[in-house]
């Protein structure tokens, strides 16, 4: 495996689980968790609130949705969107 192949593999794996990582991050941060509880369901239903947060991840990082994962590590969501990153121009395809 070349360095470039490793880079792509690691980034793809990280990107796939970025929503789960994001919600785990919120859980581990006391201040964010307190604020999450405070805003949860206030402006929209809880499931839409989490979808809104995931949409923010997609836009912020320029990701594309790939599918649903129903085995999150976080307790904040019952499932999360798996994302894929747009390939850089000229980067080798994942094998």
Give tens-digit pLDDT for 4-49: 999 989 999 999 999 999 999 999 999 999 999 999 989 999 889 9
Q: What is the pLDDT of residue 86?
A: 77
Q: Which two tokens stand for residue 73?
A: 């590590």
Distance CA 77, CA 25 (A): 13
Count Cβ atoms below 10 Å from residue 34 Cβ, excluding itself: 9
Q: What is the pLDDT of residue 48?
A: 94
Give tens-digit pLDDT for 56-88: 999 999 999 989 999 999 999 999 999 998 765
Distance CA 22, CA 19 (A): 5
**Could you tell me the pTM of the whole model?**
0.83
Residue from 48, 60, 57 nearest 20 by CA: 57
Indicate whether 55 pLDDT > 50: yes
Q: What is the pLDDT of residue 91?
A: 46
Distance CA 37, CA 93 (A): 41
Q: At what angle do helices 18-28 and 30-39 cross, to 10 degrees?
A: 100
Q: How far is CA 7 from CA 38, 46, 49, in A?
A: 38, 36, 33
């Amino acid at each position: 495996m070349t360095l470039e192949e490793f880079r792509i593999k690691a980034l793809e794996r990280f990107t796939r689980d970025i929503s789960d990582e994001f919600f785990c991050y919120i859980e581990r941060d006391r201040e964010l968790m307190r604020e999450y509880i405070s805003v949860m369901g206030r402006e929209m239903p809880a499931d839409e609130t989490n979808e809104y947060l995931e949409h923010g991840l997609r836009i912020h990082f320029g990701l594309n949705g790939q599918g649903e994962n129903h085995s999150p590590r976080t307790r904040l969501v019952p499932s999360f969107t798996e994302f894929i990153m747009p390939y850089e121009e000229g980067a080798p395809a994942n094998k």
